[in-house]
A = this chain, B = another copy of it.
Amino acid sequence: MKHNFGAGPGILPQYALEEASKGVLNFNGSGLSILEISHRSADFEAVLKKAIDLVKELLHVPDGYSILFLQGGASMQFGMVPFNLLEEGHTASYLDTGVWSSKALKEAKIFGNVEVVASGKAVNYTTIPTDYTVSPNADYFHITSNNTIYGTQLSAFPKSPVPLVADMSSDIFSRVFNIEDFGLIYAGAQKNMGPAGATLVIVKDEILGKVNRKIPSMLNYQALIEGGSMYNTPPVFAIYVCMLTLEWLKNLGGVPEIEIRNKDKADLLYKEIDRNPLFKGTANAADRSKMNVCFVMEDPTMESAFLALAKNKGLVGLKGHRSVGGFRASIYNALPISSVEILVETMQEFEKSHD
């Protein structure tokens, strides 16, 4: 039995894996694999429709917003957002909370001016800046809701005088939020939603069509919306697994219920980190992520011994990102609290053996 704390592609619900495995051999009793049916078949059109309907239902997406399943991950959105929203000569505002924010704003500079309203870089992104103002003249304001590498998360979303754009790759569907506060949300699937290869975009229709440049069709949100996520062949299997994962989420009680479970998991683990004299958290307490829990040992020379013990217990994916070191326990939606309990027990066992 493995306990998958990987940062992404990360753990998926067993239900989704079992159904997907069957579908690869025989989808819906059709005698064909989900991998070899037409994306224009009634069978797949039903999958795509259901995936979109589940997004709508689970996040309470109101009319006036479009839901897209695309390819290319969040990194493709780093370019597509300014391609579609940032007029030449205009300015977009970015909050810099880590490597991914930095990459996003670097791409925006290809299309216009970028104002970094605040940056956590000087403190290695362990704290999320809160003291900043967004200009009402910016074309949009971009944030990263959760920073996987540093284990920080915006606990509340800023008010913005211009369309708020959020990279929610690593915490979408993990907590309740009000979609009407946002102009555009995007998320690579491979943390809380499905496998690598699908990207969710939710965009308020009225913010589109305002830049003058010509946009290649595959990068043009309006063309993609007109095509109903089928401007060309979509990533059929990845969307299918997203649908299964969202179905699982709905059946267990939706986002409000998973938010409670995620809080319980995070509380349990942070409590042990704070109690156990061998360990300490790396993120500013107020900005701690409920998705990626980053921690180190007071004595870094003990870290490899702890990792070895964890591996023995079937705990995988715990090694921290090289820019922070130590450990990172990603506790995405699909990770059961029992896995966190075993991690906590392992930390306690390690503490006792080093008394």
A-side residues, CB < 8 A to B, are: 1-2, 4, 6-12, 17-18, 20-22, 24-25, 30-33, 35-39, 71-76, 78-79, 83, 103, 106-107, 110, 188, 190, 194-198, 214-219, 231-238, 241, 314, 316-317
Chain B residues in 8 Å Cβ range of A10: 36
7 contacts between A and B (CB under 8 A): A9-B37, A9-B233, A24-B24, A32-B316, A78-B218, A196-B233, A238-B238
A76 touching B71, Cβ below 8 Å: yes
A78 and B218 CA atoms in complex are apart in Å by 9
Q: Return the chain B residue nearest A317 by Cβ.
A: B38
**Copies, count:** 2
Across the A-B interface, the 8 shortest Cβ-Cβ residue pairs? A79-B216, A197-B235, A75-B232, A71-B71, A21-B24, A35-B195, A2-B31, A110-B214
A238 and B73 CA atoms in complex are apart in Å by 14
A110 touching B216, Cβ below 8 Å: yes
* A21 smallest CB distance to B (angstroms): 4
Chain B residues in 8 Å Cβ range of A198: 197
A76 and B72 CA atoms in complex are apart in Å by 10
A107 touching B216, Cβ below 8 Å: yes
A107 touching B72, Cβ below 8 Å: no
* A333 smallest CB distance to B (angstroms): 12
